[in-house]
Amino acid sequence: MSKGLIFKPVLEEEQVLATRLLGTAVEQSRLANAYLLVGDNREAKLDLAKQVAAYLNCTSTERDTRGSCLRSVSEASGSCQNCRWISEGKHPQAWLELMPREGASTKIPVEQARLLSEEFTKTSGYRRVAVIYEASQDVFHRPSANALLKTIEEPRGNGVFFLFARSEDNVLRTIVSRCQVVPVIMPGKRLVGPLNRLLDRSAYSSALANLFSELKEEEADLVAGLKELSNLPFFEWSRNLARGGAKKASAHPTTGVHALELVESSLDIVGQGDNVELVVDTVYLTELEIIGTMAIDSPILTDYLNELLRLCEETKWRISKYVGKKAVFESFAFQWIELRQSLSSPVSG
């Protein structure tokens, strides 16, 4: 659980997921080498990078109780020198920047990328934060990216890279694969779906239990049946993902046979009455229970759970509208397989 000393409260409120991911990583001293901050909110991306840099380098005696000067001191004059320089974006060692030179070319010059790479070979008493303001491949093009690949993979001396882009789709694959992708949203936008639940680790492990506890005592058989669903081969993929990561999961893909078995078993338990919707909730929460803890560190998995939730809601709506509940549920199971397939390659681990 984050102690909340790294980011300003206003940023935490706006960027719930990003501050949570980065804050936990900083506090547990397990920052990744590189973060790709995606989205249109450039100001928030810069705030995130600066507040991390300040926390890592602040020399104030109150850092451990109130956070860095950037977070806790309102007047710049009251800040330690590191925080002051970082807030101005001109700390000679702790704040390194890479941006296209103004004028002729919009590309980041290879020479600048080399210089930054060389900077990382020098030892430093500071925790270096390097910011690449535009990581899309039009700007951070292949020659410059190549000059920095090794450094991004292995920044010496406790360095961390922040790369900014509107979308990871515009960034070279070789770069994306070395970064943890973090979505940065626009002010006032909310992350929808299961994210709110994901933000409270205890909640998704108990969500399924809560669902079952809502059912009445005379429905004990129904509850027992629903609980059994998690043992189906359909959920082997999820268990493999939780145990061994994406490679293991994609080595044992969910098949159509698994999907049909899920449909048959579910309808055996609830018939084709109103409880089909209950099955949809159950299987979703089962998936959340198995892989939810991984999703907090993986925006790709978070997206997957979001998509799955959308699919579930749509399915419940269709079930309530149409007579052919079995056909609707079958189509749901097959669309779910497609969702799993679409994410099996890019998930890290």
Residues that bind Zn ion (CB under 5 A): 58, 60, 68-69, 80, 83
Least separation, in Å, of the C-beta of 87 and Zn ion?
9
Q: Given the complex with Zn ion, which of 69 and 98 has the nearer CB atom?
A: 69
Distance CA 203, CA 211 (A): 12
Least separation, in Å, of the C-beta of 68 and Zn ion?
5
Tokens 């970082």 identify what position?
A: 86
Least separation, in Å, of the C-beta of 58 and Zn ion?
3
**Pick from 262, 274, 268: which is nearest to 320 by CA?**
274
Q: Which two tokens stand for residue 304?
A: 């997957």
**Pick from 288, 287, 298: which is nearest to 17 by CA?**
298
Least separation, in Å, of the C-beta of 71 and Zn ion?
9
Vertex 13, ends 7 and 17: CA angle to 5°? Answer: 80
Those residues with Cβ within 8 angstroms of residue 114's Cβ, 6 or more apart along the chain or in another chain: 147
Q: Given the complex with Zn ion, which of 82 and 144 has the nearer CB atom?
A: 82
Q: Cα-flanking dihedrals φ and ψ of residue 130, to 5°?
A: -110, 130
Distance CA 157, CA 183 (A): 27
Going from the C-alpha of 107 to that of each of 80, 103, 144, 163, the distances in angstroms are: 35, 10, 9, 15
Least separation, in Å, of the C-beta of 69 and Zn ion?
3
Q: Given the complex with Zn ion, which of 69 and 94 has the nearer CB atom?
A: 69
- 135 near 165, Cβ under 8 Å? yes
Q: Given the complex with Zn ion, which of 66 and 114 has the nearer CB atom?
A: 66
The percent helix, strand, coil of the chain (3-state, each to 5) is 60, 5, 35
Q: Given the complex with Zn ion, which of 19 and 68 has the nearer CB atom?
A: 68
Which helix (H) or strand (E) element contains residue 97? strand 95-98
Least separation, in Å, of the C-beta of 67 and Zn ion?
9
Q: Given the complex with Zn ion, which of 68 and 240 has the nearer CB atom?
A: 68
Vertex 116, ends 115 and 117: CA angle to 5°? Answer: 90
Q: Given the complex with Zn ion, which of 68 and 136 has the nearer CB atom?
A: 68
- 58 near 82, Cβ under 8 Å? yes
Chain Cα centroid distance, residue 167: 14
Which helix (H) or strand (E) element contains residue 248? helix 236-251
Least separation, in Å, of the C-beta of 94 and Zn ion?
11
Q: Given the complex with Zn ion, which of 69 and 262 has the nearer CB atom?
A: 69
Q: Which two tokens stand for residue 13?
A: 């409120």
Q: Is 83 exposed, middle or buried (0-12, 13-18, 19+ CB in 10 A)?
A: buried
Q: Given the complex with Zn ion, which of 56 and 171 has the nearer CB atom?
A: 56
Least separation, in Å, of the C-beta of 126 and Zn ion?
12
Least separation, in Å, of the C-beta of 277 and Zn ion?
54
